[in-house]
Chain A
Amino acid sequence: MTVPLTIDVAGLTKRFAGRTVVDHFDLQLGEGRICGFLGPNGSGKTTTLRMICGLLIPDEGEGQVLGLDLRSERAEIKRRIGYMTQRFGLFEDLTIRENLDFVAQVYGLDHRRRRVGEALDRLGLATRADQLAGKLSGGWKQRLALAACMLHEPRILLLDEPTAGVDPQARREFWDQIHALARTGITVLVSTHYMDEAERCHEIAYIAYGVMLARGTTEQVVVASGLRALTGEGPGADRLAADIEARPGVRTAAAFGAALHVCGTDLAELRTAVSPWADQIRWTETPATLEDVFIDLMRHASDHSVQARP
């Protein structure tokens, strides 16, 4: 089954003052796909999203968004995609309604009143429509920003950490909404630092130091990492992280509650590494998690990127 590609970029590169911030980034995304965009702080997620939505001109690389050229048709791209900025980008000194009204007018939408009214109802903010946007709590601001960037019914949504600071209930609603949108054929590229959110995506892209290090579905990424994991349960297991991490063959060790999660590429080596504590603690093999993979990538990406750069 092939779905038409809505985002198709290759070799996107951006340098700031000679420093390569995004390095030959490739991404193909089909209609109705939700792609989670992950990576440590400063890895270039925002910069990449900005290049895709026409806010930054790449120094190198080509691409098409909705069949429009990334360089020459930026104005049209802006009209057709929805971009939610990482920092709250609406006007704090305008009311909720005025903000939505402004956006609707800029996009030249018809039936402005009705559309704004509907958006307010969907948001559940109809009764507070005349409150200043700046007075909203952080989570509500995020929801308002999302509503604003979807007002013109874009075919692509680029969301930069849309759920930062949003409570779990609202996050779940948000993700339900994202999936509902994807079912209508909207492509979503969403950056996040939350693992549970990554797991709710159809596919993920992991970037560190501007370089894409992992790409695919959750399972594909975990398998490709070749990571194996052991979970230790028993008295004091959670306090052994530092000791075990120092042993050969162990890449990461982290406590989860009372249990200890140990990761490495070779199961036999891992078993040897934990053997000194085998009598008090029961070790069982568990699948490596996405988080294991990302932590591992993050730790080892730095050396990789140092080599990759002169």
Chain B
Amino acid sequence: MIERILAMMTKELRQMRRDRLMIGMMFAIPIVQLMLFGFAINSDPRHLPLAVEYNDHSQLTRSIDAALRNSTFFEVTRIAGPGEADRLVRRGDVQFVVTIAPDFTRDLVRGHRPQLLLTADATDPTATSGAVNAIGLAVRQGLSHDLIGPLADRADRLPAIDVVTHLNYNPEGITSHNIVPGLLAIVLSLTMVMMTAMAVTRETERGTMENLLAMPLRPIEVMIGKIVPYLLAGFVQTAIILLFAALIFHVPFQGSVVLTVAVTMVFIAVSLALGFTFSTIAETQLQAMQMSFFYILPSILLSGFLFPFRGMPGWAQAIGEVIPATHFMRLLRGIMLKGWGVAEALPEVAVLAVMLLVLGTVAVMRYRDTVA
């Protein structure tokens, strides 16, 4: 039995080695995804372009200007002319325009509540919501240096936007800290499921399956022989992502690396078993790929990867709960960001273990040792 499994593994590894495209994908998928989700797609954007329209010039407005320029939320890209605000936003030249009214300084000094008009391009709510709060904060902080002595009591009368944000675990609200561990779950789901599903259907499609079945190979031997090489591939991907997480995205690693690797192993096994199950249903590589995509979409959308899990409607959460990636993602974020230990990880690991057992059984049962 060991001999036959070894034969299968050697064969798979040799074939893998010759499949340049697949090796390329193995490395490229995690790296490209990291770049995309880690850098480019940022649901907590910074350096949004902002214009300021000054209809008043004073020490106070200069302080506001300095405060806006200091904030990392905005990039003051231009000074707008009078009445230009709407046009700039409409054209998409800037995301925000701050308009300072002509009598801003006078009103402030007199104790009237002066208006600070913020025109925002709200087409993308994620881009604006944080920034709107941040402007109030920046302006108040900027002015706090000037509102001293006789003006001190004005500090309390500023247009008050009272935003209290209290961020746990990721106090700076850096998206990549949350995204990168999630990405490991997504990349593994995608590549592990797809690779195994295709590895088996490829045999059927190329006509080698009949020959394999005619040999004294038992289903479990074919399965293990095929799965182990892909397990190695999964480890390579895990290593790439964790290295990037540590070195480039500086994701704080609160929990134990060993525990992370251990739960990753369980998750990879679940994904491989799922891929194998798919392969017993799909007849061609194309079908296997389609099934993998059908699986990966809810994994991205409903697992809590892109949207906060608890913020989804109940039915979406219910679907999310049966997706392996959801549980793996909770484990990763828990261990990496919140420093979960074994005890805290156990319930989620148990769910994955049950999934592995069910999928493994289905795969072995569905795998036929006959051609039809």
Chain A interface residues (CB < 8 Å from chain B): 16, 50, 53-57, 74-75, 78-79, 83, 85, 87-94, 98, 101-103, 105-108, 132
- Complex CA gap A139/B270 in Å reads 43
Q: Do A57 and B370 contact each other (CB < 8 Å), given the known contacts A105-B3, A105-B4, A106-B216?
A: yes
Measured between alpha carbons, how far is A132 from B6 in the docked complex, in Å? 21
A279 CB to closest chain B CB (Å) equals: 56
Is there an interface contact between A91 and B210, defined as CB atoms closer than 8 Å?
A: no
Chain B 88-115 interface residues, beta-carbon cutoff 8 Å to A:
none
Known: A91-B11, A102-B11. A55 touches B3 (CB 8 A): no
Whether A85 touches B207, Cβ cut-off 8 Å, given contacts A56-B370, A105-B4, A106-B217, is yes
Tell me, yes or no, whether B208 is within 8 Å of chain A by CB. Answer: yes
Establish whether residues A85 and B215, one from each chain, have CB atoms under 8 Å apart when the complex forms.
Answer: no
Chain A residues with CB below 8 A from B370, complex form: 50, 54-57
**How far is the CB of A62 from the nearest CB of chain B, in Å?**
17
Closest residue of B by beta carbon distance from A103: B215
User: B59 in the interface, Cβ–Cβ < 8 Å?
Assistant: no
B216 touches A107 (CB 8 A): yes
Point out the residue from A75, A83, A91 that lies within 8 Å of B208, measured CB to CB: A91
A108 touches B4 (CB 8 A): yes
Q: Are A53 and B214 in contact, CB atoms less than 8 angstroms apart?
A: yes
Which of A83, A101, A105 sits near B214, CB closer than 8 Å? A83
Question: Could you list 25 examples of A-B contacts with CB < 8 Å?
Answer: A55-B210, A55-B371, A56-B370, A75-B216, A75-B218, A78-B216, A83-B211, A83-B214, A85-B207, A87-B207, A87-B210, A88-B207, A89-B207, A89-B214, A91-B208, A94-B15, A94-B18, A101-B10, A105-B3, A105-B6, A106-B3, A106-B215, A106-B216, A106-B217, A132-B18
Instruction: Indicate if the CB atoms of A50 and B215 lie closer than 8 Å.
Output: no
Interface check B7, CB cutoff 8 A: yes
Min CB gap B115→A, angstroms: 72
User: In the complex the two chains form, what is the Cα distance from A75 to B215 in whole Å?
Assistant: 9
Partner of B7, one of A79, A88, A90, A106: A106
If A75-B369, A89-B212, A107-B215 are given as contacts, then 5 extra A-B residue pairs at C-beta distance below 8 Å, sorted by A number, are A54-B214, A57-B370, A75-B216, A102-B10, A108-B4
Residues of A within 8 A of B206 (CB): 91-92
How many residues of B are counted as interface, with CB atoms below 8 angstroms from the partner's CB atoms?
Answer: 27
For residue B213, which residues in chain A have a CB less than 8 angstroms away from its CB?
55
Chain A residue at minimal CB-CB distance from B4:
A106
Name the interface residues of B1-60: CB closer than 8 Å to any CB of A. Answer: 3-4, 6-8, 10-11, 14-15, 18-19
Interface: B343 (CB within 8 A): no
User: Which of B4, B19, B214, B372 is within 8 Å of A16, CB to CB?
Assistant: B372
Assembled-state Cα–Cα distance A239/B4 (Å): 61
- Supposing A50-B371, A105-B10 touch, asked if A79 and B208 sit within 8 A by C-beta, the answer is no
- In the bound complex, CA of A93 to CA of B23 (Å): 15
In-complex Cβ contact of A85 among B19, B214, B217 (8 A): B214
Enumerate B40-91 residues with CB–CB distance to A below 8 Å: none
With the chains together, A94 CA to B210 CA distance in Å?
17
Chain A residues near B207: list those with CB within 8 A.
Answer: 85, 87-89
Minimum C-beta distance from A22 to chain B (A): 12
> Nearest Cβ distance between residue A268 and chain B, in whole angstroms?
50
Which residue, A16, A93, A102, has most C-beta atoms of chain B within 10 A? A93
A126–chain B nearest beta-carbon distance, Å:
20
